A and B are shown apart, each in its own frame.
Chain A
């Protein structure tokens, strides 16, 4: 094998060793053996993530304080916010299920937005970012555990299940949730770990030469 580790790259899915090639933006480097995407370039990744994480953190508030649905039967009405879908199961004794809903629909999405804001803010304004490593690990390990879009589909199915027996109103919380899902989906598209680790390297080198 020729070349130094800097000129080589391995596929994270099949461990194929290959030589690093330069790629244009919007041009993916694909593993010739297993067809995994090895690396790619995202234009203005940091700026986009900064904007999206701020938008997401703002949208997170109405999505969680306004009712997502309210229901009327025989003059009685009941409305619910996202947190109550976990709380009511907790009261009913299904502690584990309640905990999972709390994690997947509230805690993980919030953590991801906060982490994303920290990473993009530190890199955009060239801050030292002492917790950048932990933040990157956190974000990558939480990938796939934020399930807002599945929660939204669950709300739609609940609406259809109940529409014959009760009158339902869609609340402001549900619209905010839908907007929040657009933001989190876009931010996971623009989150390019390969590129961000490279930015962190550059950021660290700059900090070292300034010292």
Chain B
């Protein structure tokens, strides 16, 4: 398919730009105009992608500690009860031998956000410092992170469901706390950081990454 082309060449290098909304190819001279098929504004790269992505990632990192230290909900029964944080909720589940559920909540609430923050940092540094290694693996990492990130909303839904259901006055009731808001914002910010990140930037510096080079590597 690409054999006829001399080497991997991006649309931008060849004088084209792709409408990201409807995937129609336009001449590069239409930058800033509207796509004649879908009406979206045409940009060869998402404008301000790096700044917006960095800003939301840093904001997510700053909010990550309060999200994990503040209580997310309080269970009260006959006047007694104490607030729980994300981590204490997970430990409580593990203590009660609910291993599988404890692990699911641990992965969704802590492992995934941490991995997502690390992955986005690696991707942003790749573009920022023009790194050229393992680009294919990094693209794959981005796809996984983008797909899995939304599952971090799990604990937020659990809080909503429990608060709505356990409203039995003095016998038992559950209320939500501010940690839940901080946590939801962290998840939103990491999702936003991935959405505004333009994956094409990763490949823009990979000038040496051509099929010709691959062939040489193979024969050596």
* Interface window among A40-48, A56-64, A90-98, A115-123: A90-98
Contact of B16 among A8, A93, A100 (CB under 8 A): A8
**Number of residue pairs spanning A and B whose beta carbons lie under 8 angstroms apart:** 211
Q: How far is the CA of A151 from the CA of B11 in the complex (A)?
A: 40
- Check A18/B5 contact, CB under 8 A, given A73-B172, A78-B168, A193-B23: yes
B37 proximity list for chain A (CB < 8 A): 197, 200-201
Judged by a CB distance under 8 angstroms, whether A14 is at the interface is: yes
Judged by a CB distance under 8 angstroms, whether A12 is at the interface is: yes
Q: How far is the CA of A140 from the CA of B21 in the complex (A)?
A: 8
* Interface window among B53-61, B125-133, B159-167: B159-167
Contact of B184 among A8, A68, A85, A97 (CB under 8 A): A97
Q: Which of A78, A97, A133 has the most CB of B within 10 A?
A: A97
B175 contacts A92, C-beta separation under 8 Å: yes
A161 contacts B93, C-beta separation under 8 Å: yes
Judged by a CB distance under 8 angstroms, whether B115 is at the interface is: no
B176 contacts A36, C-beta separation under 8 Å: no
Judged by a CB distance under 8 angstroms, whether A50 is at the interface is: no
Contact of B165 among A29, A80, A98 (CB under 8 A): A80
How many of chain B's residues have a CB under 8 angstroms from any CB in A? 75
Judged by a CB distance under 8 angstroms, whether B98 is at the interface is: yes
A17 contacts B16, C-beta separation under 8 Å: yes
A147 contacts B150, C-beta separation under 8 Å: yes
A19 contacts B1, C-beta separation under 8 Å: yes
A18 contacts B1, C-beta separation under 8 Å: yes
B165 contacts A71, C-beta separation under 8 Å: yes
Judged by a CB distance under 8 angstroms, whether A186 is at the interface is: no
Judged by a CB distance under 8 angstroms, whether A182 is at the interface is: no
Q: Which of A15, A73, A101, A158 has the most CB of B within 10 A?
A: A15
A96 contacts B4, C-beta separation under 8 Å: no
- Which B-chain residue is minimally distant from A100 (CB atoms)? B184
Contacts of B119-166 to chain A: CB distance below 8 A: 135-136, 139-140, 146, 150-151, 153-166
- Check A15/B157 contact, CB under 8 A, given A71-B165, A160-B101: no
- Which B-chain residue is minimally distant from A104 (CB atoms)? B153
B27 contacts A15, C-beta separation under 8 Å: no
Judged by a CB distance under 8 angstroms, whether A89 is at the interface is: yes
- Shortest Cβ distance from residue B7 to the other chain A in the assembled complex, whole angstroms: 11
Contacts of A69-116 to chain B: CB distance below 8 A: 69, 71, 73-74, 76, 78-80, 84-89, 92-94, 96-98, 100-101, 104-105
B residues engaging A (CB < 8 A)? Answer: 1-2, 4-5, 8-16, 18, 20-27, 37-40, 44, 93, 96, 98, 101, 104-105, 135-136, 139-140, 146, 150-151, 153-168, 171-172, 175-178, 180-181, 184-185, 188, 191, 199-200, 202-204, 209, 211
Identify the 7 closest CB pairs spanning chains A and B, nearest first. Answer: A154-B157, A85-B160, A10-B11, A88-B164, A15-B10, A14-B203, A15-B200
